[in-house]
Amino acid sequence: MLPFKIIFHPQYDLNLGPHVFPSEKFKLIRDALLAEGIAEPADFLEPQPAPNEDILRVHTPAYVNKLLTDSLTLSERMKLEIPLSEATRNGFWLAAGGSTLAGHKALEDGFAANLSGGFHHACPGHGEGFCMINDVAVAIRSLQAAGKIRTAMTVDTDVHHGNGTAEIFASDPSVFTLSIHQENNYPVPKPPSDEDIGLDDGTRDEEYLRALEKGLLRAFEKMKPDLIFYVGGADPFREDQLGGLALTLQGLQMRDRMVFEHARQRRIPVASTLAGGYARRVADTVRIHVNTILAARDVITQQLPAETK
């Protein structure tokens, strides 16, 4: 049994069929956690779809209305890069509800994982790059509105820059955004996060981890948030089809561990989300996300170290 909750819903699957986005990954991660005895059925919670009231704390009424009435323009559909269907709409509303629930549970238990979410390219008035709804932004605004948190930090380690999240919180001092990504990759342009770490093509484990640690230290100098949302993309992996960094499976797990340890030293709860992952073998993407759960379990069960400022 895990010392925290995992948020999952069978309808996270976006049913995209043959598509570079492996939409069956959500279920495969759940299955692997159970099959390997890492989690038991009682560790899982099913979310409700986020209420439209919460979606509208982030996204414009015009955009939400287009999603609900299936009236995106052709160019908006192309920018989204996945179809707008009952299954995808439902999947994104559930992902936003799941990240919100993960935030609530993280505040109780110190950590929680949503086995979806991290759709960091979704902007207030449009979706793009496989991201319809910015679940992490919806969760943060919902938790703030409920009085559960005042401040939050996003630590986004997906290989792609978190442009949507950066844009949403650009003028909001209550949310600190950190993105570590491949500089020479989608999206272009990259609206500034509070802390941007743009890496060269082919960056390997050691250099990556050094840059991440420096970025985390700079971020924590500026804010000690009430809650961190971790956007733990699997796509900095060296065999990713849409990424150009060169991290190994071990390097990625050290990345997760580093984020969780820095948070733990400062007594800051973490809610984690998946984001991207396009390894040639879906099994590698699944392994990277399973390893994130193992890293969290290791860190959370360690004796609490002396508090770091």
d(CA 164, CA 119): 8
The closest of 90, 28, 15, 26 to 275, measured between CA atoms, is 26
Q: Applying CB under 5 A, what is the total number of residues that bind Zn ion?
A: 5
Q: Looking at beta carbons only, is 182 or 291 nearer to Zn ion?
A: 182
With contact defined as beta carbons under 8 Å apart, do 2 and 37 qualify?
no
| 235 lies in the binding site for Zn ion (CB under 5 A) | yes
Q: Looking at beta carbons only, is 47 or 276 nearer to Zn ion?
A: 276
Whether the bond into 187 is cis, omega within 30 of 0:
yes
| 276 lies in the binding site for Zn ion (CB under 5 A) | yes
| 127 lies in the binding site for Zn ion (CB under 5 A) | no
User: Which one of the spans 203-211, 218-226, 230-238, 252-260 is the region binding Zn ion (CB under 5 A)?
Assistant: 230-238
Q: Looking at beta carbons only, is 134 or 142 nearer to Zn ion?
A: 134
Map residues 157-176 to x or -, x wherever contact with Zn ion holds by CB under 5 A. -x-x----------------
Q: At its nearest, how many Å lie between Zn ion and the CB of residue 278? A: 8
Q: At its nearest, how many Å lie between Zn ion and the CB of residue 239? A: 14
| 91 lies in the binding site for Zn ion (CB under 5 A) | no
Map residues 92-121 to x or -, x wherever contact with Zn ion holds by CB under 5 A. ------------------------------
Query: Using CB under 5 A as the criterion, which residues of the chain lie in contact with Zn ion when the complex forms?
Result: 158, 160, 233, 235, 276
